[in-house]
Amino acid sequence: MTARTLDPDRIVVADEVADALGSGGPVVALESTIISHGLPRPDNRSIARRIEDAVREVGAVPATIAVVDGVARIGLDDGALGTIADSDDVLKVSRRDLATVVARRGHGATTVAATAHLAHLAGIDVFATGGLGGVHRGATETWDESADLTTLAETAITVVSAGVKSILDVAATLERLETLNVAVVGFGTDAFPGFYLSDSGFPVEWRVDDPAEVAEIMSARRALRIGSALLVANPLPEDRQVDPALHDRVLADGLAAAAAAGVRGKDTTPFLLAHFHDASDGESLRANVEIILANAALAARIAVAAAG
């Protein structure tokens, strides 16, 4: 499907993105919840542009996705990005919320689930995020599982992520990814990454070492009509990860603070990320930025290989 078939009152593909898609050029979709709810102000805005620059440096076109004034935008100009980064009226929007925020003419920062949906609609095949959502700790009581997982079950897109966020129940998330037919490959690793940590402690069954191998798998998936997502798990190098002892201490404190404050549902992930950024003396923020920049660059290399 191309951009031309979309309802222009509700979905607008930026010219640069539409041109690239029209000519079969490489495009990388980027989510916006990380900008509005995952990274602290005021640096979130410049980091968002650095993420886009990381895609450009490899020769692909970035398409940051968000809802601004009720229009789903595939590619943000400076004004739209400023709104997402700075406005207090920006909601964290998952796939189920998309139509409502569009109908109400609101602003929404899209999660992995909502971004994957819109990217696929626009015809974008590759998407970069920091760390995927998944099954939260204590989910047997709370039933809190990110809609990222069920969306990736039914969206044919390639997502580059540093595994899943280490605030989650990684083992349960891996089981759900298997059940939901989401394919997982480790990029240059046999260990599933744990976001801030290079190794979550769980293995990954398939390893790739080259973007061309990912492009080959994407091509085979198309031929076989596989309608679910491919997750490319890209770890931080071990010497760039958050110190595991610091990580475990901050996480334990954060989980206790979340429970004490009664944090629930969609507020859980932003709360825990913000706790990390405050309590790790900037270490988690440093790692989070390095993760998303590396994932954007790898996604761009994959998009270039897939377009070639």
Catalytic residues: 31, 165
DSSP 195-210: TTEEEEEEE-SEEE-S
Task: Give whichever of 25 and 270 is closer to Mn ion, judged by the CB atom.
Answer: 270
| Nearest distance from C-beta of residue 162 to ligand PSU, angstroms | 8
Shortest Cβ 287–ligand PSU spacing (Å): 10
Residues 151-210 that bind ligand PSU (CB under 6 A): none
Whole-angstrom distance, CA of residue 17 vs CA of residue 109: 19
Cα–Cα distance for residue pair 34/3, rounded to 1 Å: 25
> Residue 33 Cβ, how far from Mn ion at the closest point, in Å?
12
List phi, psi (to 5°) of 197: -105, 140
Beta pairing, strands 230-233 & 183-187: parallel
- The region of 11-19, 69-77, 141-149, 196-204 touching ligand PSU under the rule CB under 6 A is 141-149
* Among the listed residues 51, 65, 138, the one whose alpha carbon sits nearest the alpha carbon of residue 95: 65
Q: Shortest gap between Cβ of 288 and ligand PSU (angstroms)?
A: 5
Select 6 or 292, whichever has its Cβ closest to ligand PSU.
292
For residue 22, give both structure tokens: 């029209």
Residue whose CB is nearest to ligand PSU in the complex, by number: 130
Give the span between the Cα atoms of 224 and 125, in whole angstroms: 16
Residue 144 is a binding residue for Mn ion (CB under 5 A) = yes
| Of residues 132 and 215, the one with the C-beta less far from Mn ion | 132
Considering just the CA atoms, what is the radius of gyration of the chain in Å? 18
Give the interface segment with ligand PSU, choosing from 33-41, 151-159, 279-287, 299-307 (CB under 6 A). Answer: 33-41
- Provide, rounded to whole angstroms, the least separation between the CB of residue 5 and ligand PSU: 26
- Evaluate whether 299 touches 115 at the Cβ level (below 8 Å): no
Q: Tell which residue, 7, 14, 19, 8, has the closest CA to residue 78.
A: 14
State which of residues 83, 129, 228, 241 lies at the interface with ligand PSU (CB under 6 A): 129
When CB distances are held under 5 to 8 angstroms depending on the partner's kind, the choice from Mn ion, ligand PSU, none that residue 47 binds is none
* DSSP sequence for 137-196: TTHHHH--B-HHHHHHHT---EEEESBB-TTB-HHHHHHHHHHTT-EEEEES-SEEEETT
CB 153 to Mn ion: min, Å: 16
Task: Decide which of ligand PSU, Mn ion, none touches 130; Cβ closer than 5 to 8 Å per partner kind.
Answer: ligand PSU
Q: Which of 228, 232, 229, 180 is nearest to 206 (CA)?
A: 232
Q: Which stretch binds Mn ion (CB under 5 A): 81-89, 103-111, 141-149, 255-263?
A: 141-149
What span, in angstroms and rounded, lies between the C-alpha atoms of 111 and 45?
A: 17
Which residues are at the interface with Mn ion (CB under 5 A)?
144
Which residues are at the interface with ligand PSU (CB under 6 A)?
31, 33-34, 37-38, 111-112, 129-131, 133, 146-148, 266, 269, 273, 288, 292
